Amino acid sequence: MHARLADGPLPDLTVRTAQLYLTYLSYDPHGVDGHWGPMTRHALTAFLQAHGRSAPAGEGGVVTQDMLALMRSELDKIPLVWPL
């Protein structure tokens, strides 16, 4: 028999991307697992409010392409530091 790779729903790659971006931007979603939860919602809400945007309504984990683009534009402002 083959072992099951996952129990429950598979991770959402859009949520995972948002969690990764939020982590790099210092809005800690408490892990990058691709699952929408209260800590991801809190981190995303804080990020959006800090950038003059409204928080997502309801409890459903909706990360839009506009939200990802805003996060990406903020990431692009961070200077890259290479080890010497």
Domain presence at residue 84: no
Domain presence at residue 55: yes
Domain presence at residue 74: no
Domain that holds residue 56: 13-60
Domain presence at residue 78: no
Domain presence at residue 53: yes
Q: Give, in order, the Cα–Cα distances in Å from 33 to each of 20, 39, 50, 56, 58.
A: 9, 12, 24, 20, 21
Number of domains into which the chain is organized:
1
Domain presence at residue 82: no
Residue 60 has pLDDT above 60, yes or no: yes
User: Percentage of residues in the chain with pLDDT exceeding 90?
Assistant: 69
pTM of the model: 0.82
pLDDT at 6: 59
* 69 Ramachandran zone, left/alpha/beta (phi>0; psi -120 to 50): alpha
